[in-house]
Structure 1
Amino acid sequence: MEGTANHGIPLLMMVVGPTMSLAHIASHGTEFHKKELLPLACRGEIQFCFAITEPGAGSNTIKATTLARRKGNRFALTGEKTFITGADVSDYCLVVARTKPHTEVSRKTDGFTLFAVDLKKKGVEMQRVKVSIPLPEEQWTLFFDEVDLGPEDIVGEVDDGFSILFDSLNPERIILAALCCGIGRFALRKAVAYACERNVFGQPIGAHQGVQHPLAKAHTAVEMASLMTHRAAWEFDNKLSAGASSNMAKYAAAEAGIEAVDAALQAHGGSGFTEDTGLYELYPLVRLLRTAPVNRELCLSFIGEKVMGLPRSH
């Protein structure tokens, strides 16, 4: 959970896209996907990314406009996806597209199809999204212009992709919850070491409750979030309904991670903002994870509606 690079930028960001894609390929892919692409991806010989977000359809996937238009038994994919992690280093992208516009379906969740798109195909272009946070992988906008796709590229059933789409969201939440817990533990370990060795007024600063209590409170929050993360992972591994635990884990871990990094920065004083300490650069990352890829408010709405039985809010 806590592998790091660049003074502590976690490496787990690199596995979110492949995890969301390969789970679908394993469960719903064609024989070609399972026998050819999946083994290569598992060996790390090819890379996958995942594309669902659009400039005009972030959390509201229903309003996605990227369309795979039928041409006989084939499709022509046209549209735009954004904030696609690692698209430049990926060979394939699992693309969530509409095969029927939302204005032409009886249920708003109808008309979605998932495609494993070879990013070397004609009609695929990409443009970097400049994000003001140091991350292991860059963000990209993908443009599709009449990209030719066939039955061999379909993952799952045509027009019924929404029913399997959210299979990927629980492991995504679990992975990111684990990431936030790892960031929190990393920051707190550095803070404890510093607070034990830094002497002011004749004793280590960690002996002062003003330093000690925020670190202890953050440690408690991280460990509580970690327990919920393990519960969510156990439920998912045992093919149980993991939605409630996954959303609670993601929410709790993001909040705990922010609290831990903030407490660690405060304990370090001015040195926490130096490059040598390698702490401050964690803050924008962990703050990002409160918002993306699923924001705090959607997690709380899921918990309120699906877990507690409150009226639907959106």
Structure 2
Amino acid sequence: MTTTPITLPAQESEEHRALRDAVRSLCSTYDFAYMTATADTGGYPTELWQAIGELGLIGVNLPEEYGGGGAGLQELFIVEEELAAAGCGLLMLVVSPAICGTIIASYGTEEQKRRWLPGIASGEFISAFGITEPDAGTNSHNITTTARQDGDDWLLTGQKTFISGVDQADAVLIVARTADEKTGKLRPALFMVPTDSPGFTSTVIPTEVKLAENQYQLFLDDVRLPSDALIGTVDAGIQQLFTGLNPERIIATAMATGTARHALDKAVEYAKTRNVWGTPIGAHQGLAHPLAQCEVELQLARLMGQRAAALFDGGDWEGAAPAANMAKYAAGEISAKALDQAIQTLGGNGLSSEYGLARMFAASRLPRIAPVSREMLLNYVAQNIMGLPKSY
């Protein structure tokens, strides 16, 4: 891909500000209260998903000729961040258009692009993404889900765990491994697996994270797929895989920074109005300084996320990788820190149902764990950016 040098503007463009305003306007209807009510009833935020689809915001990063908005990750970053800042961030926005849509747009055949991308862009077709396995964890080299050829078909066998939104997905882009005929070694390959395929089953994973989007364990028992279920080639698996994983980290950054903004907004508003010593508690440095520190770290994480998105959109995928990893690390840290400080700022009210902060606690930890842990992100920075010896 041809790369284009990028320079982040000092101010957002009018188009980007208008995009933020459009999402904020939508969130006057679909907000934190909507998401918590949906989660508490075991539902899915279908109305919100359909609403952003009708506005053309789900596939804003996908090519126009396949029904997308013709923009990029910078625009999808804005959409996800503003949704999360309103308390209604969507995991499947990270997964379906950012990971799966990008991979298909980059490596799919013309027929595959026309089959799947318009639906992904409109939100009418949802694709989940399956890479994590029970015994592999963050070590994707230990993936044991295998694909073997049977005539013109493929047969997939294995397990996946902590896969988002399978109950709403029409298909799952599965990372499996195929045998290299020359070396006998296994290499990654990507397959689109319809969720109604014979031999494909899923079970929900109970968690303490109260979200309207659930996690699932998948079982693939000789799932038979046609030859055109393979995305790209078996020879470019790693390259294809990271074409989707870097956008995942970038849009996950947007969700985490939006979540931090949501928590800080509640804390700041409370600190401006709560008065118990003759002046608002926000005037006291014991609260003002920690909140200010969170704001500084939040803005730095946002900038790195925006830089990663701009690099990716400019075609510099190699340069986008370090930025995406550092942005994801910084966003995960401030997501947890901002909520912790927000709860501390509100004192006892921080634990009340009225303000909704305490129920966000488990979710605020997610960006430090998934889609890649903070420890593996630090390993990446140490080894690939700083040139330190590999530790594992």
Instruction: Please say whether Structure 1 and Structure 2 have the same fold, judged by a TM-score greater than 0.5.
Output: yes
CA pair 75-59 structure 1, distance change in 2 beyond 3 A: same
Identity, in percent, stands at: 43
Asked whether 1:259 is paired with 2:337, we answer yes
**Alignment TM-score, normalising by the size of structure 1:** 0.94
Q: Give the match for residue 186 of structure 1.
A: 262
Q: Could you report, residue by residue, the CA deviation over 1:59-112 in whole angstroms, capped at 9, with x for unpaired residues?
A: 1111111111211221111111111100011001100011228xx88496x522
2 CA distance for matches of 1:107 and 1:60?
20
Asked whether 1:310 is paired with 2:391, we answer no
Asked whether 1:292 is paired with 2:389, we answer no
Asked whether 1:127 is paired with 2:206, we answer no
Query: Post-superposition, which runs of at least 4 consecutive aligned residues in structure 1 deviate over 4 A?
Result: 1-4, 104-108
Asked whether 1:43 is paired with 2:43, we answer no
The answer to whether the 8 Å contact 1:178/1:226 transfers is yes
Query: For 1:1-314, what aligned pairs fall within 5 Å after superposition?
Result: 4-5=31-32, 6=35, 9-18=87-96, 19-100=98-179, 106=183, 110-240=186-316, 241-314=319-392
What residue identity is the alignment partner of 2:179? Answer: K
Q: CA deviation at 1:149?
A: 1.1
The answer to whether the 8 Å contact 2:335/2:367 transfers is no
CA pair 105-304 structure 1, distance change in 2 beyond 3 A: farther
Structure 2 residue matching 1:313: 3-state secondary structure: coil
What residue identity is the alignment partner of 2:115? Answer: E
Q: CA deviation at 1:278?
A: 1.2
Aligned length: 311
Q: CA deviation at 1:162?
A: 2.1
Q: CA deviation at 1:234?
A: 0.8
Q: CA deviation at 1:163?
A: 2.5
* Stretches of structure 2 lacking an aligned partner (at least 5 in a row): 1-19, 37-85
Structure 1 residue matching 2:243: 3-state secondary structure: coil
The answer to whether the 8 Å contact 1:9/1:136 transfers is no
2 CA distance for matches of 1:288 and 1:41?
25
What residue identity is the alignment partner of 1:112? Answer: P
Structure 1 residue matching 2:384: 3-state secondary structure: helix
Q: CA deviation at 1:159?
A: 4.7
- Alpha carbon RMSD of aligned pairs, Å? 1.8
Q: Could you report, residue by residue, the CA deviation over 1:6-49 in whole angstroms, capped at 9, with x for unpaired residues?
A: 36643232211102111111111133321122112211111100
2 CA distance for matches of 1:257 and 1:117?
33
2 CA distance for matches of 1:28 and 1:272?
47
1 CA distance for matches of 2:347 and 2:268?
13
Structure 1 residue matching 2:218: 3-state secondary structure: strand
The answer to whether the 8 Å contact 2:87/2:262 transfers is no
Q: CA deviation at 1:286?
A: 1.4
CA pair 105-188 structure 1, distance change in 2 beyond 3 A: farther
CA pair 197-64 structure 1, distance change in 2 beyond 3 A: same
The answer to whether the 8 Å contact 1:14/1:136 transfers is no
The answer to whether the 8 Å contact 2:126/2:170 transfers is yes
What residue identity is the alignment partner of 1:71? Answer: D
CA pair 105-133 structure 1, distance change in 2 beyond 3 A: farther
2 CA distance for matches of 1:50 and 1:138?
13
Structure 1 stretch displaced more, 296-305 or 184-193: 184-193
2 CA distance for matches of 1:207 and 1:266?
15
Q: CA deviation at 1:201?
A: 1.8
